[in-house]
Structure 1
Amino acid sequence: MNDEQVPDEGSDDEDLDKALERFRISMDPLIKWQQNVFPSISRMLQESAAFRLNLAKNFPKIVPPLVTEVTQFQKQLQGMSTFNSSLRALIESVNRAYAPQWEGIFESISDFQSRIFPENWEGVIRPGVDEFESLLIDEGIALMWVPGPKVIQALLDASTPAERRRVISRRWKGIVADCETVLIDVTHPRLQGSRKFGLDCVRALKEGHTAPAQALAGNLLDSILRTNFDNAARLEVTRNNFKKNGVRFNLDDYKIRAAFTLAPVWCAHAKYRTEDGDPIPRTFGRHPTTHAVSRAQYSRINAVMGLMLVTSVIKFFDMEME
């Protein structure tokens, strides 16, 4: 009796594993992007050139279902015990078709982010919006246009508000220089007066006049908002009743560059009333800077934070106004 020829099933299994691995490699970037980046990037897309070409409108509808289909397909393939040549050819064609497209898509996403974040974010490991929302809304740290990338990265890497204030304290000279560079570059005719007073803040800090620098920064911020916003818009970004009603600044109410610029403005306008017996805050605030001149409120860190904030707002208007 002749021995029957037994097909080498191991070869098919090995081909299956290799094909699945290539498929996983080509699809995983999409899966990870949808899980980790898509929630924040979808809002960023709204200000990109691609949005004007209707890409952003279609991405939110197309990508999640596509990811679901890909995930289900992967699970089905992994549960198969046999693998034939036609199916193998199908997966190989999917790999060839989609891998180059994903690469182009992710390059475009990187370009989208660069259109949203100013030059001072170049080289910074960009977190999701939720990861640095607290820095903007709760701590009032300006991050748009100033400070420079190394300082931003150090602020993001710090784990507590106290650590972030120490970062500002240690690097204050570099931050002041960053603000000076940005203010010098402000070109809009309507902002030249604000630009000059901003540079006066820079000069005062460089010469060691911390208190005058903070006082000027606080009042300059108020002047800029009153000059460039109507009363309703100004009140919207300065009416901070968080202590009373627990309502925080809502980033979703604004386009993303405006949201990131104005959130620290809202934080700086936290209610402070001497007549109510409020303790003088140690963090920078527009109201205590004006109404509670003291060693508790006035400090070099707060003066630098005030300069950062006013510089960011001036540059925002410089970029936005026709």
Structure 2
Amino acid sequence: MTDETVAESGDDRDEGEKGIELTPEQTETLRSSIASIQRSLAPQIKLPTFTLPESAFKNVIAISGIVEAQQALMADAIRPILDAQAAWRNQISGGIAESLASASKITSMLAEQQSAWLRSLGPTIAAMRAAFYPPNLRAIQGLKFAEVNTVVMVDGIPLYGLPRTATADALIRADGASERRRILGRRWRTISADCRTVVMGCESQAVAPYVPFAVAALEALDEGHTAAAQALAGSLVDAILNAYFGKDRYKYTPDRNGKRTKDAYDEFSIRQFTAFAPMWQAYQQFFVTDGDKVPTTFSRNATAHTVSPRQFNRRNAVQGLMLACSLLYRLDEEAASVEADA
């Protein structure tokens, strides 16, 4: 840097330190310029100002008045409906009470009518029971067909038309087959009497040829000739069933191979089933040549094809005669109905 340059810089500094003298007009002009520059540099943010016109206020007031007027009109319009609804509620409340009272009266009337109807239905129910069961079973209370099935089909003890109700009830309520066998042994005299009553009451021409043989077998039993009574009972059962069923009898008896089912019994009515089901046990297969053991319950085949105290005894004689006389009773009913229609 030259001495001349240093001298010039020094001269400028000395002049600034002394200040510049401005007139009042020049000072005001300078302030205005500086303020203008500041305004140009500051951010230009202008907040909007919303002013609701006077007409809008008038519109709001007018609308409010309209709404209030409409609300008043609406209240006046629905007041009759509300009044009617209140009256309707009161009426319904009273009506419900009256309806409940009426319903109670109707229920009472229906109960009386139902009771009368059930009383009048008694004879009809009795007639239905008569259609299901023979006379000696109708008085047994709470009798179920499954119980009848156990006695007549499973144990082979007849119940159709005999024995008398008390004995039939005892057989049905007995605890198992052994107990039923004991009943046959203890009550054989009354059972014989019941068989005789049934047979002597048969009047149809179809049954008439068998009656004397049934009576003869019963007399043999009563006189103590149990083997003779059983042998004649076995022959009588075979003759009756062959005459009634013919070749179809084999549909209702077991076959030698044990394959035949009891399905054929499904075609029977309850009364028919009760009468004929005992023959399923009476005709169980028995062949001496096959070494079959002699059965201890009544067997038509064992009665015809063997002589053994295991088969011939009083209980079996009673059971065989019950079957013969029961079949005669059933056949006499059918024949009497056919003869009456003819």
- Fold shared per TM-score above 0.5: yes
| Aligned pairs (5 A) from 1:104-123 | 104-121=120-137, 123=139
1:315, 1:138 → 2: CA distance?
A: 21
* Alpha-carbon shift at residue 243 of structure 1 (Å): 7.6
- 2:115 alignment counterpart: 99
* Alpha-carbon shift at residue 250 of structure 1 (Å): 5.7
The CA RMSD measured in Å over matched residues stands at 2.1
Q: Deviations over 1:278-309 (max 9, x none)?
A: 21110001111111221111110000000000
SS at match of 2:277: helix
| Aligned pairs (5 A) from 1:140-151 | 140-151=156-167
Question: Are the equivalent residues in 2 in contact too, given 1:125–1:153 (CA < 8 A)?
Answer: no
| Aligned pairs (5 A) from 1:1-322 | 84-121=100-137, 123-232=139-248, 234-237=249-252, 239-241=253-255, 244-245=258-259, 247-248=261-262, 251-321=265-335, 322=339
SS at match of 1:230: helix
1:298, 1:204 → 2: CA distance?
A: 14
* Alpha-carbon shift at residue 125 of structure 1 (Å): 2.5
2:269, 2:107 → 1: CA distance?
A: 41
Question: Are the equivalent residues in 1 in contact too, given 2:192–2:318 (CA < 8 A)?
Answer: yes
Residue identity matched to 1:272: F
Q: TM-score, normalised by structure 2?
A: 0.65
Question: Are the equivalent residues in 2 in contact too, given 1:249–1:266 (CA < 8 A)?
Answer: no
Q: Deviations over 1:47-86 (max 9, x none)?
A: xxxxxxxxxxxxxxxxxxxxxxxxxxxxxxxxxxxx9434
Structure with the greater alpha carbon radius of gyration: 2
- 2:34 alignment counterpart: none
* Alpha-carbon shift at residue 251 of structure 1 (Å): 4.6
Q: Which runs of 4+ in 1 moved over 6 A?
A: none
- Which range moved further: 111-120 or 172-181? 111-120
Residue identity matched to 1:235: Y
Q: How many residues matched?
A: 238
* Alpha-carbon shift at residue 167 of structure 1 (Å): 0.7
Question: Are the equivalent residues in 2 in contact too, given 1:249–1:263 (CA < 8 A)?
Answer: no
Residue identity matched to 1:139: D
Q: Which runs of 5+ in 1 are unaligned?
A: 1-82
Q: TM-score, normalised by structure 1?
A: 0.68
How high is the sequence identity, in percent, across the aligned residues? 32
